[in-house]
Structure 1
Amino acid sequence: MDSDGRSARFSAPDPEDPLERVVVSISQYETYGPTYENDQQNDQPNDQPYAAEDPRDYVDTYRPAYETQHEVPYETHPEAATEPQLPRPLPPTIELPGAFGGRAEARRAARRQKAAERPQAVRRLVPRALVVAFLAGGTTAFVADDKAIELTVDGKPRTLHTFADDVTELLADEGVEVGAHDIVAPAPGTPLTSGDEIAVRYGRPLHLTLDGRRRTVWTTARTVDGALRELGVRAEGAYVSAPRSKRIGLEGLTLDVRTERTVTVMADGRARTVRTNAATVREAVEGAGINLRGQDTTSVPPGSFPRDGQTVTVLRITRTKEVREEPIAFGVRRTPDASLFRGTEVVEQAGQPGMRRVTYAHRTVNGVRSKPRPLDSEVVHEPRTQLVKIGTKPLPAAPADVDDLNWSALAACESGGRPGAVDPSGTYGGLYQFDTRTWQSLGGTGRPQDASAAEQTYRAKKLYVRRGASPWPHCGGRLHT
């Protein structure tokens, strides 16, 4: 208690705080009773301002308001209220022996005077008591609605007092905006009670390349390490492009992560299994202690991303070149000739093949030679086209008696029935073994063995008309069989 009798917890109230003013006002009314003017003057407390009196001494002094308009009105505001101005007590009664009944009569008169004064003081104190009760009830409700809440926004905690009913209203009062990727716990709309803890975690875009696959994810973690744990990424032995303690701002972060994988490398007849977080197959192969030389490569593209459990085969490659000379076939051009009988072909110009020089590449993979692949081609000399004349002249009709001879028997005897037959000396040829001079004298061109069988028979009949069977001394008798 302080020197004025007030509770120490209400000392030095804040004049700007209405709640302090209400509490102080209530405390004053709880602590002090009414003070009378004569008490202030005498600086003595009134011990019994409302002491009970003998009912027989009570005198009803109540008068209606219209009869007491001369009285000073009471100010009901706690801060503007003044102490009620009660009538000053009568001076002490001088006790005279035998006058008006002595001391007893004097005491009865004093009590009657106090009883007359008390209703007036009570009437003045009733409005003041009602104001105090109203303020006390309002203060109790005010204090009951106030809640102490711990709000943590993106890892920054603070304790505040609020009259909000739920989480949504509190966030709106505090100006905290949340989006689709943010987390609020407890959920918006949850009712609030004093002592609750509310956490708001903002979402951050993370442009993540995880084991060669790019994607954008959202995380509420504030560090790289927290984001990896939140996403369930195995960080042990992994390559991370940023320090794990690096903070992730609200604008997000670009992050490259390569987890540790198992890769088997087959090379030179041996298998090697390694754990690696390499970015390419080439790096994984080199990490296994295998060097790629010259044109060596791998069974999968060397620049591709190595997958967990993948088997990579190293291909040892050698290349050689070979030059070959190859012939070029000549072409044949046939032209019709009306001077030749139908079915006759005469080679006017013999064809001649050409030649080209071709360079081939030979590829050997792990000792196995593949099919040659042409790299370059050069023509050494061009081929010469063969020219052939084709007869279109109709065959003349032979005499009837000549047609009845056995020409097939003659041909079988002379050449075995073969139109292209040539004797060992090369002088005679064809079905009927003409020599070149005789053939040409009968109108034939070229060599007889190159003419058709029909033309050869026609020339043989013509020769028989001229000379009979004498041109065929050994087989001429077959014509008449």
Structure 2
Amino acid sequence: MRPSVKTIAINASVVTALVAGGVAYMTFDNAVSLSVDGETETVHTFAGNVEDVLDGQGIEIGPHDEVVPSLDSKVEDGTEINVRYGRQLTVTVDGTEQTVWTTALSVDEALAELGIRHEGAEVSVARSRDIDRSGLNFEVQTPKDVTLVADGDTREVTTTALTVREALADVDVELGDRDIIEPSLDTKLSSEAEIVVKRVTVKKDTVEREIDFETVEKEDDSLEVGVTQVETEGKKGLLERRVEKTFIDGELDKTKKLSEKVVEEPVDKVILVGTKEPEPEPEPEPDPPADDDDGGSDGGGGGSDDNVDGGVWDRLAQCESGGDWSINTGNGYYGGLQFNLQTWQAYGGSGYPHENSKAEQIRIAEKLRDDRGGYGAWPACAAKLGLPT
């Protein structure tokens, strides 16, 4: 049976509608590449912009998420849309904690994105670890270039230590209890810092010091005014002191006294100072009358006395100076009878004793003997010769 004209017309209308619909679908349906956190798929959409595409896929965008191109960008066939969700990181860098948002998918990528020096750094988690949308907490100790001065040597070192103490441990520098470290051990370390280690050693020692003696003057009425005589020679004492010496890098820094004691007391020098007023000189006796008798010159009283006295003084001179009446030994004593200048002058002598004649030296000696009542002015030789003192 042939189809009627009406049926043919209806069928033609249906076919026309289907063809038109197919053409319209093919015209307005766009194939879009959608990447979410690195996962890519192709979606077909009638949406006019990126935001509509994401809404159609049920993707919600937050304030820390990243969308490329922007949400209001138009979509056409072949458009590539990249979505990265924001992740909250708590990162402690060299002891300082900070909270940041990132769209990085791994720890290594996050370090680069945050500008943290990560080459050679110590990280508390694996660098390749993925960061999911829940975020991540980790620590980073960055490398620091520092200058180390210790034990007479200066060197450049790189360390991830957080403090001076940790840096010294990293480079195996052992510290003594007294060593000085600049800056202090607990100082937070920064790049370009300088660490100085000063070695401190302490030594105990015993040192001796001389104690000066004092000079004491003592009056003596057996000596004439102006005459002095050393009764006791001074002698220095000895002090023993226990000290503690502190050295910094081998150089003496300070000395501390621990204790001291006197090992030997000093002996004062005692000088006798004469207070006796000199007796007035006797009037000179008149010269005896001249004696023309030859026998008188041989046996007179004056000649006999001179011979006796001359013999005593010659013996004393022999003992004191070897019999040299003009000797000057340079020790402060002069002439045959070894006068000191003060005594010589006190008894009327002029100039120096050794510059005077033997007779003048004997004359002054006799005055001294008579004043002292004996030969005590020459104690050693008087005792040797058996003379009264």
Deviation at 1:184, TM superposition (A): 0.7
Partners of 1:214 and 1:301 in 2: CA distance: 23
Match of 1:177 among 35, 60, 71: 60
Give deviations 1:183-209, integer Å, cap 9, x for gaps: 111111111111222111111111112
Give deviations 1:215-274, integer Å, cap 9, x for gaps: 112111111111122223332211111111111121211221122221111123321211
Residue matched to 1:286: 169
- After superposition, the Cα gap between the structure-2 partners of 1:314 and 1:162, relative to the gap in structure 1 and judged at 3 Å, is same
- After superposition, the Cα gap between the structure-2 partners of 1:208 and 1:319, relative to the gap in structure 1 and judged at 3 Å, is farther
Partners of 1:157 and 1:368 in 2: CA distance: 75
Contact 1:264 1:310 (8 Å CA) reproduced: yes
Deviation at 1:214, TM superposition (A): 2.3
Partners of 1:371 and 1:190 in 2: CA distance: 83
Deviation at 1:125, TM superposition (A): 3.3
Q: Aligned pairs, how many?
A: 216
Determine whether 1:221 maps to 2:104. Answer: yes
Summarize the alignment of residues 119-134 of structure 1 with structure 2, pairs less than 5 Å apart: 121=5, 124-134=7-17
The one-letter code of the counterpart of 1:176 is I
Match of 2:160 among 277, 284, 290: 277
Determine whether 1:156 maps to 2:39. Answer: yes
Give deviations 1:98-129, integer Å, cap 9, x for gaps: xxxxxxxxxxxxxxxxxxxxxxx2x5533443
Determine whether 1:303 maps to 2:186. Answer: yes
Partners of 1:253 and 1:303 in 2: CA distance: 29
Deviation at 1:135, TM superposition (A): 3.1
SS at the partner of 2:149?
strand
Partners of 1:254 and 1:364 in 2: CA distance: 49
* Unpaired runs of at least 5, structure 1: 1-36, 39-83, 87-120, 322-360, 373-481
Residue matched to 2:30: 147
The one-letter code of the counterpart of 2:68 is A
Residue matched to 1:315: 198
Partners of 1:364 and 1:180 in 2: CA distance: 64
The one-letter code of the counterpart of 2:162 is A
* Unpaired runs of at least 5, structure 2: 205-243, 257-389
Residue matched to 2:236: none
Q: Post-superposition, which runs of at least 4 consecutive aligned residues in structure 1 deviate over 4 A?
A: 317-321, 361-372
Q: Which has the higher strand share?
A: 2
- After superposition, the Cα gap between the structure-2 partners of 1:313 and 1:147, relative to the gap in structure 1 and judged at 3 Å, is same
Deviation at 1:299, TM superposition (A): 1.1
Contact 2:33 2:78 (8 Å CA) reproduced: yes
The one-letter code of the counterpart of 2:53 is L
SS at the partner of 2:98?
strand
Match of 2:114 among 222, 231, 247: 231
SS at the partner of 2:194?
strand
Residue matched to 1:419: none
- After superposition, the Cα gap between the structure-2 partners of 1:150 and 1:285, relative to the gap in structure 1 and judged at 3 Å, is same
Match of 2:91 among 208, 220, 227: 208
The one-letter code of the counterpart of 2:119 is E
Deviation at 1:313, TM superposition (A): 1.1
C-alpha RMSD of the superposition: 2.8
SS at the partner of 2:35?
strand
SS at the partner of 1:137?
helix
The one-letter code of the counterpart of 1:243 is A
- After superposition, the Cα gap between the structure-2 partners of 1:231 and 1:126, relative to the gap in structure 1 and judged at 3 Å, is same
The one-letter code of the counterpart of 1:189 is D
TM-score (norm 2): 0.50
Match of 1:167 among 50, 68, 81: 50
Deviation at 1:362, TM superposition (A): 9.6
Contact 2:245 2:252 (8 Å CA) reproduced: no
- After superposition, the Cα gap between the structure-2 partners of 1:368 and 1:182, relative to the gap in structure 1 and judged at 3 Å, is farther
Partners of 2:78 and 2:123 in 1: CA distance: 41
The structure with the largest alpha-carbon Rg is: 1
TM-score (norm 1): 0.41
Give deviations 1:276-329, integer Å, cap 9, x for gaps: 1122211212333421111334212312332111111113346799xxxxxxxx
SS at the partner of 2:23?
helix
SS at the partner of 2:167?
helix
The one-letter code of the counterpart of 1:181 is H
Partners of 1:305 and 1:140 in 2: CA distance: 72
Give deviations 1:349-393, integer Å, cap 9, x for gaps: xxxxxxxxxxxx998755564799xxxxxxxxxxxxxxxxxxxxx
SS at the partner of 1:189?
coil
Partners of 1:227 and 1:297 in 2: CA distance: 41
Contact 1:273 1:288 (8 Å CA) reproduced: no
Contact 1:278 1:284 (8 Å CA) reproduced: yes
Give deviations 1:17-69, integer Å, cap 9, x for gaps: xxxxxxxxxxxxxxxxxxxx15xxxxxxxxxxxxxxxxxxxxxxxxxxxxxxx
Partners of 1:368 and 1:145 in 2: CA distance: 93
Q: State percent identity of aligned pairs.
A: 39
Deviation at 1:168, TM superposition (A): 0.2
Residue matched to 1:194: 77
Contact 1:241 1:257 (8 Å CA) reproduced: yes
